Amino acid sequence: MRVTSGKVVGGQIVYEGEFPEGSDVTLIADDHEAGFEVSSELKAFLLEAMAECDRGEKISAEELLRELQDE
């Protein structure tokens, strides 16, 4: 997983660097007009959670539900 920053210019996302053709990307917009805002701590938590998934550190929804029921 790679994290990069950029700006929207003329409706296009502009950033330094390149991604290989066909790369899947996830955008987290720092837009105060969006439906909700997240703190820098929550943003860091979400990015780490995505990195964990990319590393295969995840469980199925069924396993999560079983764990929640056991609590």
Q: What is the mean pLDDT of each run of 10 residues along the chain (71 residues)?
A: 77 83 79 69 88 87 89 77
Instruction: Say how far apart CA 19 and CA 69 lie, in whole Å.
Output: 41
- Residue 33: per-residue pLDDT: 64
- Residue 32: per-residue pLDDT: 60
pTM for this entry = 0.44
Query: So where are the chain's domains?
Result: 6-70
- Residue 35: per-residue pLDDT: 62
State the distance between the two ends of the chain, measured CA to CA, in whole angstroms: 33
